Amino acid sequence: MTQEEELKSANIELSGEKRLSDDISILEAEVVELTEQLEKTKQSIRDLREAEDPKTKTFYAEEIFQAQQEKLRLDVDIKFRTNKINRINLGIDEMDASDGVKGGFLF
């Protein structure tokens, strides 16, 4: 491994990025777990909205906002894992992808 490759891998580890597993069964189990968390989060958003009462000035804007952010994070995590499963099934290696796709841009 060259010095440049070592620095690049160290930067990935230091930036907090964690690589997804290459095992489809692990990824599918994570998708199931994340989907359950997503449903619980959606239900908590509904519950908080129903619990709001303008007459008594009871509002849960901050809690709803945080729950919506969590919902969006879970959506993205599920999509990352689903896309990884699809890439593995299609036999696409991350090293074979173009620079644009590696950077997250499809065009």
CB within 8 Å of 107: residues ≥ 6 apart: 100
Please give the C-alpha separations between residue 31 and each of 71, 72, 85, in angstroms, as whole numbers. 14, 14, 10
Per-residue model confidence as pLDDT tens digits over 11-20: 444 444 567 7
3-class SS of residue 53: strand
Q: Report the amino acid identity of residue 54.
A: P
Domain boundaries, the chain: 22-90
User: Residue 32: its pLDDT value, please?
Assistant: 97
- SS3 of the chain: helix, strand, coil, percent, to 5: 70, 0, 25
CB 45 within 8 A of CB 64: yes
**Cα separation, 7 vs 87, whole angstroms:** 27
3-class SS of residue 58: strand
Per-residue model confidence as pLDDT tens digits over 30-51: 999 999 999 999 999 999 999 9
pTM for the model stands at 0.68
User: Residue 1: its pLDDT value, please?
Assistant: 46
